[in-house]
Amino acid sequence: MTSTMSVQALGQINAATHPCKQAGPTSRPRLSFRKVNAACSPSAQHRFLSGSRLLKSASPQTVRHRQTSVVASSAAASTPAVPAAAPKKENPLVLGALFAGWYGFNTFFNIYNKQVLKVFPYPVTCTTVQFAVGSLFAVFMWTVGLLKKPEFSKDMAKGISPLAGVHTLGNLLTNVSLGRVAVSFTHTIKALEPFFSVALSAAFLGDTPTIPIVLSLFPIVGGVAMASVTEATFNWGGFLAAMGSNITFQSRNVLSKKFMGKDTKGSVRLDNINLFSIITIMSFFILAPVTLLLEGVKFTPSAMQSMGILNSTEVIKKTLLAGVCFHAYQQVSYMILQRVTPVTHSVGNCLKRVIVIVASVIVFQNPMSKQNMIGTGISLAGVFIYSQVKRMSGKKKLA
């Protein structure tokens, strides 16, 4: 903060004392009798020297009067009505804690989820329970005032419904994939998200990708293909479910731009955390009847014991903990996004995937061949390259 203020102050003083530099919006022009810079135009030099001779020949009272008039009129014209606020500098300790929480909650969500799905193979029920826990979490935050309760309307519901639909399907397909293949392989496939983002944006939003962006997708696709060939837990059900999750989640992003960008008459814009909370509640009501229709009532101790699950209490506890971690890591993710740039968030998300893959391999002792590890590394490096190319493309657009 100190260095920023010093640079601004120096800029104001320099602009005020140099005849060829325009004063900034908060600076006050001062008359200077230094030697005129040779870089100034002849007309500027003539006006400046003429003003100096007039001031020298005038009486002291006239000089003071003219100086006061110049300063007053310039200040009235250049000073803004509301002073600009200094940019807020985020506390690195707070950011570090948020990133640690984001990675920790996401890692435990994947581990608990996989442990439950290995003995309780009902992904629709597990997904519904996670949405139920998230809904209770959101209602609690609104009730105690930790989060401002949004104003909900029919128009808002119409706009959010498509997002809730694809959000529901995306999380369901992710759980289906986690139940069929290794956690590390699911997250390797989910590294293909940038590919589907580019494809869907081009198809539905008319966003034509640049050549560097297209080239950055090659290592992502190639790395996932290399890892898939040698994956020990590979099966088409888990692979296609993860691919479907990619498509639905990127469709959600496209729908966010297409629908949520439109202002509806009388509507109130939602912040990301409230939007996610409403989507979670809507997803629960969408999936609950589907769960009863497809899987019935399975999330009870008696139903689990009839399936041969001896420690039903442990399964219920881990399912609920997975729901808490699921909602918590999403909330923390949005809190981070409010404090950093989207590119920084994207890089952090790439690192999060690396941590989840490493942690799952350690916990579940999944065998990974050398080619599998190389393919996973190439795909994740491709995601990082893609985020950097997007950042450079954004800078060129602003230039």
Tens digit of each residue's pLDDT (9 = 90 or more) over 122-133? 999 999 999 999
Give CA–CA dist 349/93, Å, rounded.
19
| Helix 211-229 / helix 193-200 crossing angle, nearest 10 deg | 140
pLDDT grade for 19, boundaries at 50, 70 and 90: very low
Over 70: is that where the pLDDT of 11 sits?
Answer: no
Give CA–CA dist 361/318, Å, rounded.
19
Give CA–CA dist 396/399, Å, rounded.
5
- CA end-to-end span of the chain, whole Å? 26
**pLDDT at 258 (0 to 100):** 56
Give CA–CA dist 318/116, Å, rounded.
7
- Do 220 and 195 contact (CB within 8 A), yes or no? yes
CB atoms within 10 A of CB 384: 17
Q: Three-state SS for 389?
A: helix
Backbone angles phi, psi at 263, to 5 degrees: -85, 120
Give CA–CA dist 176/317, Å, rounded.
20
Only one residue has tokens 């918590």, namely 328
Give CA–CA dist 172/242, Å, rounded.
10
Give CA–CA dist 113/172, Å, rounded.
12
Backbone angles phi, psi at 91, to 5 degrees: -70, 120
Closest CA to 318 of 73, 39, 155, 126: 126
Residues 6+ apart with CB under 8 A from 82: none
Closest CA to 340 of 29, 69, 88, 59: 88
- Do 249 and 193 contact (CB within 8 A), yes or no? yes
Tens digit of each residue's pLDDT (9 = 90 or more) over 213-263? 899 899 999 999 998 888 888 889 999 999 999 898 888 777 666 554 455
Q: What's the chain's Rg over C-alpha atoms?
A: 30
Higher pLDDT, 169 or 340: 169
**pLDDT at 275 (0 to 100):** 85
**pLDDT at 76 (0 to 100):** 39
Query: Which one-letter DSSP state was computed for residue 86?
Result: P
Tens digit of each residue's pLDDT (9 = 90 or more) over 276-320? 899 999 999 999 999 999 999 999 999 998 888 888 999 999 999
- Give DSSP secondary structure letters for 253-296: HHHIIIIITSPPTT--PPPHHHHHHHHHHHHHHHHHHHHHHHT-
Over 70: is that where the pLDDT of 77 sits?
Answer: no
Residue 174, burial from CB neighbour count under 10 angstroms (0-12, 13-18, 19+): buried
